[in-house]
Amino acid sequence: MARYTGSACRLCRREGCKLFLKGDRCLSDKCAITTRGTAPGQHGAAKKMMGEYGMQLREKQKAKRYYGVQEKQFKNYFEIADKKEGMSGENLLSLLERRLDNVVYRMGLAESRKEARQLVRHNHFRLNGKKVNIPSIIVKVGDVVTINETSRSSEKIKGLIESMQSKLTPKWLEVDKENAVAKVVAVPARDDVDFPFEEQLIVELYSK
């Protein structure tokens, strides 16, 4: 599967907002949005008129990049969300929130979703007691995410467990920070998504 290998900061600049792709760096003065707030490219500083389609496309790109999902995956998620009862846009965000890599990030065990994906792929986690290395798994209510016992001796994992003590967790996750265990206690609601998406624009884009 193709994946983006360029600068993460370039993506934030293209969308004109912080997507928090590099963890704590995004909160520092080194953030590219703070130092170079214009879009990348020769004509990035030029003001451009954006039509209806352009706004819809940018919102889709923003969500896709925020969660680190490829184009085909994102479209598949929308098709699943559109078939569910309720608002398609809210269903889409709920699915994206319940990806395993996002759950690891929301637990506080990674500085970014990119780091969370890497940790999952390297077999550091278990889902309901079973080893998993697929970041795109959608967790369900009642699922429990734990760290592999063999991974707990890693200095990297020890550091992440220590740092998670100060991290806030969403109400749809029940997290035991002492043992680094998370249980999904509810389906994420729209209010649980802390990024100002305009999901209706994404729905309109795929409804064309």
Q: Which residue has the tokens 């193709």?
A: 2
Contact between 160 and 109 under an 8 Å Cβ cutoff? The reply is: yes
With H, G, I as helix, E, B as strand and everything else as coil, classify residue 46: coil
Q: pLDDT-based confidence at 19, cuts 50/70/90?
A: confident
Instruction: Kindly state the tokens that stand for 200.
Output: 């209706």
Q: What is the pLDDT of residues 164-193, one digit of tens each?
A: 988 889 999 999 999 999 999 999 999 999
Q: Can you read off the two tokens belonging to residue 15?
A: 């969308």
Question: Quick one: pLDDT at residue 130?
Answer: 96
Is pLDDT of 47 > 70? no
Q: For 113-140, how does the pLDDT look when each residue is reduced to its tens digit (9 = 90+)?
A: 999 999 999 999 999 999 999 999 999 9
The SS3 assignment for 88 reads helix
Where do the domains of the chain lie, and which CATH numbers do they carry?
Answer: 8-96 (1.10.1050.10), 99-184 (3.10.290.10)
- DSSP assignment string, 12-30: HHHHTS----SGGGGGSTT
- Other residues' Cβ atoms within 10 Å of the Cβ of residue 96: 23
Q: Is the dihedral of CA 10, 16, 19, 25 positive or negative?
A: positive
Res. 46: pLDDT tops 60: no
Return the beta strands (E) in the chain as ranges.
125-127, 130-132, 144-147, 173-176, 181-184
How much of the chain, in percent, has pLDDT values that exceed 90? Answer: 69
Instruction: Decide: 180 and 161 in contact? Cβ < 8 Å.
Output: yes
- Which of 13-17, 33-37, 120-124 tops mean pLDDT? 120-124
Contacts of 46 (CB under 8 A, 6+ apart): none
Sheet holding 173-176, edge to edge: 130-132, 125-127, 144-147, 181-184, 173-176
Q: What is the pTM of this model?
A: 0.85
64-78 tens-digit pLDDT? 999 999 999 999 999
